[in-house]
Structure 1
Amino acid sequence: MEYILDSVKDTIDLGKKLGSMLNAGDIICLTGDLGTGKTYFTKGIAEGLKIDDPITSPTFTIVNEYEGRLKLFHFDVYRVNDIDEIAAIGFDEYIFSDAVSVIEWADYIKELIPKECIWINIYKIPQKGPDFRKIIIKYHGNRYDYIKELK
């Protein structure tokens, strides 16, 4: 599925729609260059999960936890230098729980990501304007067939 969005609000809104559909144990992998809107998309997911806390990127802590309709684990692995570093924090225990896991820069730890997950790639479209984004959503595994309803 591909979306062309022209504002931060639209990015958050798409994340919110997805967040309202997510189930316990779902894993969302976000990729995109710096400043493409991964954290804004995560803010939307959190809104869809009925999380009221402000969402910030866990760049220096690796993971933030939030409570809502479902628990959310928000990972940012941008500064992870070694796969063992992410494994040492108990990564498997986080992602194989009943929480929703959102992983920014997931391509950095691709070998640790389960096969069944949602991959979301976010790209800037500078030719159209500073806030234009292309978001491509792909899912792997039958558990995510409900994503087809995301409009």
Structure 2
Amino acid sequence: MTEIISRSPAETEQAGEQLAKELRPGDVVALFGNLGAGKTQFIRGLARGLAITDMVSSPTFALVHTYSGRIPLYHFDMYRIMNWADLESTGFFDYLDSGGICAVEWSENIEAALPANAIRVHIEPDAGTDLRRISIKHEETGAK
């Protein structure tokens, strides 16, 4: 497991950008954290690391945004997903086999559906500051 302390939104993005260098087609990055933890900032960094130049925003109402880069990025927001039927309606399972990278905000809402080898990113903010503790765990190997 990798532990990173971020002291600013820019450092949170840098952590995502660093992880992007290790990603391969088919990888799933599952993000966990409360509202305002920095999940979208982390994914902005992932996108930059994948040579994506589009503006990245949370797909709260669209549920998924697609970005083109050196590897396609599928950015999901599972905040409103309450059951299996909701999840299936997003097309999530089709995206898993698309050869892109799936980055999933609010993964706690679909944890049972995540692949065993998903890269789990937990972001814990320090109340009242920009400080974030970012834990990155590669499930298949246990650590990276």
TM-score after normalising by structure 1: 0.90
Classify the secondary structure of the residue corresponding to 1:21.
Answer: coil
Q: Which structure 2 residue ranges, 5 or more long, are not aligned?
A: none
- In 2, the alpha carbon distance for the partners of 1:57 and 1:11 equals 15
Classify the secondary structure of the residue corresponding to 2:21.
Answer: helix
Q: Which structure 1 residue ranges, 5 or more long, are not aligned?
A: none
**Residues 1:135 and 2:134 aligned together:** yes
- The corresponding residue for 1:79 is 80
The alignment yields a C-alpha RMSD, in angstroms, of 1.4
- In 1, the alpha carbon distance for the partners of 2:90 and 2:79 equals 15
Shift of 1:75: 0.2
- In 1, the alpha carbon distance for the partners of 2:97 and 2:118 equals 12
More helix by share: 1
- In 1, the alpha carbon distance for the partners of 2:90 and 2:61 equals 13
| Misfit runs of 4+, over 4 Å | none
- In 2, the alpha carbon distance for the partners of 1:130 and 1:16 equals 22
Shift of 1:97: 2.0
Counterpart residue identity of residue 138, structure 2: Y
- In 1, the alpha carbon distance for the partners of 2:93 and 2:71 equals 18
How many aligned positions are there? 143
Shift of 1:70: 0.3
- The corresponding residue for 1:55 is 56
- The corresponding residue for 2:106 is 105
Q: After the TM superposition, which of the residue ranges 66-75 and 20-29 deviates more from structure 2?
A: 20-29
Classify the secondary structure of the residue corresponding to 2:110.
Answer: helix
Work out whether residues 82 and 109 of structure 2, in 8 Å CA contact, stay in contact via their aligned partners in 1: no
- In 2, the alpha carbon distance for the partners of 1:79 and 1:91 equals 14
Shift of 1:87: 0.9
Shift of 1:111: 1.2
Counterpart residue identity of residue 141, structure 1: E
Shift of 1:50: 0.3
- In 2, the alpha carbon distance for the partners of 1:76 and 1:29 equals 10
Counterpart residue identity of residue 135, structure 1: I
Shift of 1:68: 0.1
- In 2, the alpha carbon distance for the partners of 1:136 and 1:125 equals 14
Q: After the TM superposition, which of the residue ranges 71-80 and 87-96 deviates more from structure 2?
A: 87-96
- In 1, the alpha carbon distance for the partners of 2:7 and 2:16 equals 14
- In 2, the alpha carbon distance for the partners of 1:14 and 1:60 equals 26
